[in-house]
Amino acid sequence: MSIAIALTKGRLEKETIKLLEKSGYGIESVKNKGRQLVFQDSQKDVQYFLVKANDCITYVQHGVADIGVVGKDTLLEGDKDYYEMLDLGIGKCKFIVAGLQGKSPFDKVGHVKIGTKYPNIAKKYFLAKGMDVELIKIDGSVELAPLLGLCDGIVDIMETGTTLKENGLVVFDTVCEISARVIVNKASFKLKRKEISQVLEDLKESLGENDVTTN
Ligand SMILES: Nc1ncnc2c1ncn2[C@@H]1O[C@H](COP(=O)(O)OP(=O)(O)OP(=O)(O)O)[C@@H](O)[C@H]1O
Ligand SMILES: O=P(O)(O)OC[C@H]1O[C@H](OP(=O)(O)OP(=O)(O)O)[C@H](O)[C@@H]1O
């Protein structure tokens, strides 16, 4: 049976394609794409399509994609009606709490405002710390918000730390580590167990891993 795989475009794209190639998949047409979005594997009965991170979950949950490759950040923030099967160890970064030097949101007395692209993750994190903060949803350049006084701190992704550093911000805490995960549609895993397990095995083999993670 044919398998459909949703790949997150953007930052994860190159590394995911490299890993699939290493695992024996004929994915060269995705590498050489122009504006094309759907691709057929040249060696296996697999179809790929490229989507934005949140849409990857949507396509998998609706069963249009049997498998998806998406960042843990997106998974933690969004719906959870799928199986998370494998940590690919690529797209590594972390969620951090940051703000202006000497102005930690943890030390502020009174109302605390946090800017973030990830309000669900931020809310859960601060509630676990016993802090009922006000969350301000920001869609990009999150580092700007504390600089301009929109908020007391941010919850955002840090990879190299360059964006924080160049804007004079410091890290106050790490929320969690992030990497790309393989998710699987629940019904597909029953109907196409053999084919999906084969893809997981192929990926694990090139990762040099033996265990499948489920959280
Ligand atoms: N420095 C980083 N910044 C953001 N995401 C990163 C970084 N490094 C790795 N990632 C991972 O790559 C995934 C895709 O990020 P990307 O920036 O391409 O898309 P996005 O977050 O939807 O942003 P945009 O709307 O700008 O396309 C993230 O969900 C995360 O898992
Ligand atoms: O630690 P660094 O290596 O500097 O990377 C972290 C930055 O990358 C992401 O932003 P992105 O480039 O996706 O742009 P955005 O602000 O528009 O979301 C993230 O939100 C940080 O701003």
Are 190 and 121 found together in one domain? no
Q: Are 72 and 117 in contact, with CB atoms under 8 Å apart? A: no
Any domain includes 113: yes
Are 187 and 84 found together in one domain? yes
pTM exceeding the 0.90 threshold for the entire prediction? yes
Q: Are 175 and 77 in contact, with CB atoms under 8 Å apart? A: no
Containing structural domain, residue 188: 3-91+179-207
| Per-residue pLDDT at 29 | 87
CA 11–ligand 1 middle distance (angstroms): 5
Would you list the DSSP string of 55-120? Answer: HHHHHHHTTSSSEEEEEHHHHHHS---SEEEEE---S-EEEEEEEETT--TTT--S--EEEES-HH
Instruction: Specify the residue with its C-alpha closest to ligand 2, atom 20.
Output: 157
Are 57 and 157 found together in one domain? no
CA 123–ligand 2 middle distance (angstroms): 20
> Has residue 210 got a pLDDT over 80?
no
* Signed CA dihedral, 19, 20, 24, 27: sign only: negative
Are 86 and 187 found together in one domain? yes
- Give the ligand with the smallest distance to the CA of 117: 2
> Has residue 133 got a pLDDT over 60?
yes
* ipTM of predicted assembly, 2 dp: 0.94
| Per-residue pLDDT at 79 | 86
Instruction: Specify the residue with its C-alpha closest to ligand 1, atom 31.
Output: 71
Are 168 and 64 found together in one domain? no
Are 153 and 105 found together in one domain? yes
In 3D space, the residue among 210, 206, 211, 208 whose CA is nearest the CA of residue 19 turns out to be 206
Are 185 and 87 found together in one domain? yes
Count of structural domains within the chain:
2
Any domain includes 171: yes
Any domain includes 213: no
Are 41 and 65 found together in one domain? yes
Are 98 and 173 found together in one domain? yes
Any domain includes 214: no
pLDDT digits (tens, 9 = 90+) for 53-82: 999 999 999 999 999 999 999 999 998 999
| Per-residue pLDDT at 64 | 98
Query: CATH code at 15?
Result: 3.40.190.10
**DSSP 8-class letter at 163:** H
Any domain includes 212: no
Are 116 and 155 found together in one domain? yes
| Per-residue pLDDT at 128 | 97
Are 43 and 99 found together in one domain? no
Range with the lowest mean pLDDT among 30-34, 41-45, 56-60?
Answer: 30-34
